């Protein structure tokens, strides 16, 4: 079993009475997170939905915000900026940017599961400016260059 990290969670006043993020099954990679407010998303609309909590993520980690597959398939509702990143030094309220790509309005209901949170390690990079890059078989081909 992979070792767990500890993430401090501060429940905000408007998050009282809501379940904390949690894994739905023993094998789940993401913790389900619920809405702390109700809202209606018209087709094509997007909104930052409050969750009612803030996090203190350990240095060297991030928490990714990902969509729930059931909302995407059944209603066309997904997260924009996916996966979203919550940096270890952010201490504000976690919000989920939902977008309604469906044809019907979608009611976001307080207490309804709207996204998943996945903690992940972060690697830092140092960039080295060069005069040329090494050659590869693929070269600069991208955006479908390898076929369907």
Q: Are 28 and 101 in contact (CB under 8 A)?
A: no
Domain assignments of the chain as residue spans, ordered by start? 29-121
* pTM attached to this predicted model: 0.89
> Which CATH fold would you assign to the domain 29-121?
Deoxyuridine 5'-Triphosphate Nucleotidohydrolase; Chain A (2.70.40)
- The yes-or-no verdict on residue 1 having pLDDT over 70 is no
> Each residue of 28-61: pLDDT tens digit?
999 999 999 999 999 999 999 999 999 999 999 9
Count CB neighbours of 4 within 10 A.
7
Which of the 8 DSSP states describes residue 69? H
């Amino acid at each position: 079993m992979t070792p767990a990290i500890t993430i401090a969670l501060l429940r905000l006043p408007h998050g009282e009475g809501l379940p904390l993020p949690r894994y739905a099954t023993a094998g789940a990679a993401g913790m389900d997170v619920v809405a702390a407010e109700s809202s209606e998303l018209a087709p094509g609309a997007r909104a930052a939905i409050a969750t009612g909590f803030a996090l203190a993520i350990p240095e060297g980690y991030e928490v990714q915000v990902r969509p729930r597959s059931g909302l995407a398939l059944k209603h066309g509702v997904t997260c924009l900026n996916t996966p979203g990143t919550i940096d270890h030094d952010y201490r504000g309220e976690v919000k989920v940017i939902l977008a309604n790509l469906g044809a019907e309005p979608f009611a976001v209901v307080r207490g309804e599961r709207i996204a998943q949170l996945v903690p992940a390690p972060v690697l830092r990079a140092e960039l080295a400016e060069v005069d040329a890059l090494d050659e590869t078989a693929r070269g600069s081909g991208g955006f479908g260059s390898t076929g369907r």
